[in-house]
Chains A and B, each alone.
Chain A
Amino acid sequence: MSDASPDSQTDASLMAAVADGDMDALGELVRRHQSSVLATAYRLLGRWDQAEDVAQEAFLRVHRAASTYVSSAAFTTWLYRIVTNLCLDVLRKRRTGPEPPAELSNGRASRPGQGLERAELASVVRRAVAGLPERQRIAVILHRYAGLSHAQIAEATDWSPSAVESCLVRAYARLRKELADLQDS
């Protein structure tokens, strides 16, 4: 492993170290990306237990595939491909199985000290996103909250670029209408 500290290493170099069996490098990758992965999984699934399972499994798959990882591909795009597929698996099982009990809390929707208005707004946004058709919801969450570009979303979901564009345009149009209705009311 490089003499550089894990903090200063790129994701690609950390992956190379993981392929060599460096557990410190794996730990650094997890610490670096787990918050975003957890938040994305939680937004997609709405449950912390399932979000944690997805996050843990995603990083274990990263470890198992480290020796075959191609550094020319962006690590985050590859990671979110794994996360998205795992979340889709969970969503598919929900469709065929019994509906799991919904969590009463959606996690902390606002920072302490912020007014009720922001908390209510967060709740509205959450419901509006949850009300989107599945593909639009996935596209919006990856775009707005995971920070993926249109091209990265296409890679992560294996959808065509035009499909991604269509999903995003429709999703934001629908959100714009719902949020505008809220503001008017």
Chain B
Amino acid sequence: MSCPTESDLLRMASGELAGQRRDAVTAHVRGCETCARRLREIQAVWETMASWEVDTTGHEVAQAVLQAVPAQFADSGPDLRAQPDGLARGGWLAHPWRWPVPMRAAASILLAVAVGWGAGRWVPRAASPDLGQARGRLASAPKDPAEMGGPVTAERIARDLGLDALRGGIATGLSITLLDEAQWRANEEAKG
């Protein structure tokens, strides 16, 4: 065998050289004073460098690392391992911020519609008269004014319809005009 390279001798000194290559270099060095000297010099440097020890006591980072990891990745949290189909337990579907943008946009629109629909059903009665009830009262209301218990006034009609006010010409959504404007004026003048 020819003389080993510096790199081989370095590997020899560090213990990295193994197997047949190590055996071959070892055998050569035994018989070659030049290579034996080279190896001794490299080993001496290797051992001398060991004197530069670094004590890391007091500089540990374990606590800082564990505190820096977001709480959502804590052990009690969901399984965040990415899955190809996203449907694994606690996978990406469980975390809206991981959804694709179109999916997030669609979810936002649906949420807005649901909120709007729910708010619409919750509007107080006074602001939105139930015209179904108004038609019912009209149908069952006495036709003879004498039976009505008093003159028919705009206020009375408004009260009966469940409205805050009733003025001539206002559309009530009913098939007949309850009160035309002329009659309304006449009633108002009669009140004085």
Residues of A within 8 A of B (CB): 19-24, 26-27, 30-31, 34-35, 38-39, 42-43, 48, 51-52, 55-56, 59-60, 63, 67, 106-111, 118, 121-122, 125-126, 129, 143-145, 149-150, 165, 168-169, 172-173, 175-176, 179-180
Tell me, in angstroms, the Cα distance from A31 to B46 when the chains sit together: 27
Tell me, in angstroms, the Cα distance from A149 to B16 when the chains sit together: 7
> Using Cβ atoms and an 8 Å threshold, which residues of chain A touch B48?
121, 125, 179
Please tell me the size bucket of the interface on B. 35 or more
Q: Is B60 an interface residue (CB 8 A)?
A: yes
> Using Cβ atoms and an 8 Å threshold, which residues of chain B touch A34?
56, 60-62
* A1 nearest CB neighbor, chain B only: B75
What are the nearest 4 A-B pairs in CB distance?
A: A108-B55, A39-B54, A125-B52, A38-B56
Q: Are A42 and B54 in contact (CB under 8 A)?
A: yes
29 contacts between A and B (CB under 8 A): A19-B81, A21-B73, A21-B79, A23-B74, A26-B69, A27-B62, A34-B56, A34-B62, A35-B56, A38-B61, A43-B52, A43-B54, A51-B59, A52-B59, A55-B61, A106-B54, A107-B54, A109-B52, A109-B54, A121-B48, A125-B48, A125-B49, A126-B52, A129-B49, A165-B7, A172-B10, A172-B45, A173-B6, A176-B45
Tell me, in angstroms, the Cα distance from A159 to B73 when the chains sit together: 35
Q: Is B82 an interface residue (CB 8 A)?
A: yes
Please tell me which one of the listed residues A24, A38, A118, A176 contacts residue B41 in the complex, with CB atoms under 8 A apart: A176
* A23 nearest CB neighbor, chain B only: B75
4 further A-B contacts with Cβ under 8 Å, apart from A108-B54, A109-B51, A122-B51, are A21-B78, A34-B61, A144-B46, A176-B45
Tell me, in angstroms, the Cα distance from A77 to B60 when the chains sit together: 21
Tell me, in angstroms, the Cα distance from A126 to B48 when the chains sit together: 11
Tell me, in angstroms, the Cα distance from A19 to B83 when the chains sit together: 12
Nearest CB in chain B: distance from A24 CB, A = 7
Given A21-B79, A110-B51, A63 and B61 touching (CB < 8 A)?
no
Tell me, in angstroms, the Cα distance from A122 to B54 when the chains sit together: 10
Tell me, in angstroms, the Cα distance from A179 to B52 when the chains sit together: 13
Q: Is B172 an interface residue (CB 8 A)?
A: no
Q: Is B53 an interface residue (CB 8 A)?
A: yes
Q: Is B80 an interface residue (CB 8 A)?
A: yes
* Residue with the greatest number of chain A CB neighbours at <10 A, chosen from B6, B49, B73, B80: B49
Q: Are A109 and B80 in contact (CB under 8 A)?
A: no
> Using Cβ atoms and an 8 Å threshold, which residues of chain A touch B11?
150
Within 8 A of A (CB), among B19-65: 41-42, 44-46, 48-49, 51-56, 59-62, 64-65
Q: Are B61 and A30 in contact (CB under 8 A)?
A: yes
> Using Cβ atoms and an 8 Å threshold, which residues of chain A touch B139?
none
Q: Is B68 an interface residue (CB 8 A)?
A: yes
Tell me, in angstroms, the Cα distance from A150 to B41 when the chains sit together: 20
Nearest CB in chain A: distance from B14 CB, A = 7
Q: Are A179 and B45 in contact (CB under 8 A)?
A: yes
* A176 nearest CB neighbor, chain B only: B45
Given A20-B79, A122-B53, A176-B41, A30 and B14 touching (CB < 8 A)?
no
Nearest CB in chain B: distance from A84 CB, A = 17
> Using Cβ atoms and an 8 Å threshold, which residues of chain B touch A43?
52, 54
> Using Cβ atoms and an 8 Å threshold, which residues of chain B touch A19?
81
Q: Is B66 an interface residue (CB 8 A)?
A: yes
> Using Cβ atoms and an 8 Å threshold, which residues of chain A touch B74?
21, 23
